[in-house]
């Protein structure tokens, strides 16, 4: 079959259903890239989160990010995360997704020189059971997110942890960060 745009052999076949109207597009590799249809963001994610293995154990369980309230369904829909902590919340299936998208699954490039950084793995995860017939989450993400857990409270918790683990450099940094936030809050 020939590509709908140029004369090359089509290798990408796209079927889209919008409002019950089905359209089929046949594209060669170059044209599909040029049109951006092979952007993994939409498809790869859908695949990763709808893979049979995942579906089997989920029976309508909805994973939710504790930090920002972002849900797996929203992720599937928009192909983007809600906040940095989402990477920990939605880590299942992430490796496969990243493997399709990138050269590897492990970062080997630049690192902040002082590792004053979060390790999202520390954050607990939450699974909310959603009834099978539950209505889909509101389509407009901006309307639904609950407010973030107060920044300062979270930093305090991290500070406590840092102290208990005798990571004093981190603790000092967290302390100054909390202090830098406080005048802002009272402004």
| Residues engaged in binding another protein (CB under 8 A) | 6, 8, 29-30, 33-36, 39-41, 45, 68, 70, 74, 78-85, 87, 94, 97-98, 101-121, 141-142, 145, 147-148, 151, 154-155, 177, 184
Residue with tokens 């981190």: 170
Nearer to another protein, 131 or 138 (CB): 138
Q: DSSP alpha helices (H): ranges in the chain?
A: 29-34, 40-50, 52-58, 72-78, 86-89, 94-101, 151-164, 168-186
The nearest distance, CB 174 to another protein, in angstroms, is 9
Nearer to another protein, 97 or 130 (CB): 97
The nearest distance, CB 120 to another protein, in angstroms, is 6
Pairing type for strands 126-129 and 21-27 reads unpaired
Nearer to another protein, 95 or 168 (CB): 95
Nearer to another protein, 74 or 130 (CB): 74
The nearest distance, CB 118 to another protein, in angstroms, is 5
- Residue 2 DSSP code: B
Nearer to another protein, 20 or 114 (CB): 114
The nearest distance, CB 59 to another protein, in angstroms, is 26
Alpha-carbon torsion 176, 177, 178, 181, what sign?
Answer: positive
Q: Alpha-carbon distance 86 to 121, whole Å?
A: 10
The nearest distance, CB 22 to another protein, in angstroms, is 23
Q: Alpha-carbon distance 37 to 16, whole Å?
A: 11
The number of helix segments (H) and strand segments (E) in the chain equals 8, 4
């Amino acid at each position: 079959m020939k590509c709908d745009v140029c004369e090359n052999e089509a290798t990408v076949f796209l079927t889209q259903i919008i409002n019950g109207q089905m359209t089929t597009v046949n594209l060669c590799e170059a044209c599909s890239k040029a049109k951006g249809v092979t952007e993994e963001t939409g498809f790869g994610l859908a695949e990763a989160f709808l893979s049979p293995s995942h579906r089997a154990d989920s029976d309508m369980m909805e994973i939710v990010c504790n930090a920002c309230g972002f849900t797996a369904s929203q992720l599937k829909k928009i192909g983007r995360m809600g906040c940095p902590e989402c990477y920990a919340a939605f880590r299942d299936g992430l490796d496969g997704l990243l493997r399709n998208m990138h050269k590897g699954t492990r970062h080997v490039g630049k690192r902040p020189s002082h590792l004053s950084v979060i390790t999202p793995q520390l954050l607990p995860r939450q699974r909310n059971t959603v009834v099978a017939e539950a209505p889909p989450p509101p389509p407009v993400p901006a309307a639904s997110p609950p407010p973030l857990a107060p920044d300062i409270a979270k930093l305090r918790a991290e500070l406590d942890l840092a102290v208990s683990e005798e990571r004093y450099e981190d603790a000092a940094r967290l302390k100054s960060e909390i202090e830098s936030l406080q005048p802002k809050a009272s402004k």
